[in-house]
Amino acid sequence: MKIIKLGSVVAAGLLALTACGSSDGDSAAAAGSTVRVNGFSILEQANKAVFDDFGKTDAGKGVEFQTSYGASGDQSRGVESGNQADVVHYSLETDVTRLVKAGLVDEGWKSATPTNGVLTSSVVVFVVRKGNPQGIKTWDDLVKPGVQIITPNPGSSGSARWNILAAWAHITGNGGSEEQAKAFLTKLLGNTIALPGSGREATTAFTDGSGDVLLSYENEAILAKQSGADVDYVVPDDTLKIENPGAVTTSASKAAKDFLAFQTSKEGQAAYAKAGFRPVVDGVDVGEVEGANDPSDPFPTPSKLFTIDQDFGGWGVAVDKYFGDGTEGKPLGLITAIQQATGKGVDQ
């Protein structure tokens, strides 16, 4: 677990005043507060800037952060099992609702933000080698013979599930049947040479030299370029909108609630945008985004943008239908069955 300290000088001064018996109300109470953030792996770099900007606000002065990042499902299950968290920020809505069922997040968590609980957004893209030597532009290019794909494992990674459903929607959202979608996903997984445990691990595998193409979040592609990786990325004409939810836990402090509010503020969203996330509120001054294909127009609108709610019935339906593990008498999910048939990502 990492600890990030913000405004240590201010915090020290406020703590000294408190020791002398003085109180400044909520601002003084925030000084020295620790907010424990539990999130999915791709957030780690972006959150550093968000923490810094929050520390410049009155509410954020003197606040420290403890952070834990990893595959979204693993992180959520860890909190369910007893890992401490004040703010949770995951890839999938079901990773938050797991904590609602456990009594760790309030049932009305979506109403705590003006964005219905969504803290960050992106789209599924193709990350390719510099110059795109394979000429990968469309989903159909991914299933050509010899193309080597990297994508995280949908058994543990939320980003993997977004990737896989984007591929599925390419077929069903363009007039194809479920049988055609199954055939397409079978070919896609057949070309997949590695399914790392998380989105960040998948990026590392790709930038270390494995594969021809990485299925990933747009923000992860932008971050890779910002970090000096020798890659390009393609936003396909049809893709899936990614929405990452977050909430405070039932034991969260005022500092944690203030941080959640900052995350969906224009200032917080501007910080996330600089790291490649698409804003979830209007009126955000994005400016230029280093690493984007066009830094002055970093977030182009795809010709066809699918959504989890409109095209898959929401995560409450999609998880069982596509990723169900066959327990409790339920059938295997459609994607899980394909994974078992191809031997890709099962029990990894």
pLDDT digits (tens, 9 = 90+) for 146-169: 999 999 999 888 989 999 999 999
The whole-model pTM stands at 0.89
For the cut 60, the answer to whether the pLDDT of residue 27 exceeds it is no
Q: What pLDDT, on the 0 to 100 scale, is given for residue 155? A: 84
How high is the mean pLDDT of the chain?
91
Greater confidence, 175 or 345? 175
Q: d(Cα 22, Cα 82) in Å, to the nearest integer?
A: 36
**Residue 18, pLDDT score:** 32
Whole-angstrom Cα distance, residue 97 to residue 109?
Answer: 9
Give domain limits for the chain. 2-120+244-274, 121-241+297-342
- Above 90 in pLDDT, residue 97? yes
Q: CA 336 to CA 141: how far, in whole Å?
A: 23
For 20, residues 6+ apart whose C-beta sits below 8 A from its C-beta are none
Cα gap 313→169, rounded to integer Å: 12
Domain 121-241+297-342 has CATH 1.10.150.530: no
Averaged pLDDT, 37-56: 96
Q: Choose the CATH number for 2-120+244-274 among 3.40.190.10, 3.40.50.920, 3.40.50.620, 1.10.10.60.
A: 3.40.190.10
**Res 110 pLDDT > 80:** yes
The strand pairing partners of 218, in sequence order, are none
pLDDT digits (tens, 9 = 90+) for 11-22: 333 333 333 333
Query: What is the pLDDT, as a whole number, of residue 28?
Result: 44
Band (pLDDT 50/70/90 cuts) for residue 30 is low
Question: What distance in Å separates the CA atoms of residue 299 and residue 122, rounded to the nearest whole number?
Answer: 9
Q: What is the pLDDT of residue 32?
A: 57
User: 2-120+244-274 with 121-241+297-342: one CATH topology?
Assistant: yes
146 burial (CB, 10 Å; 0-12 / 13-18 / 19+) is exposed
What is the largest distance, in Å, between two alpha-carbon atoms of the chain? 73
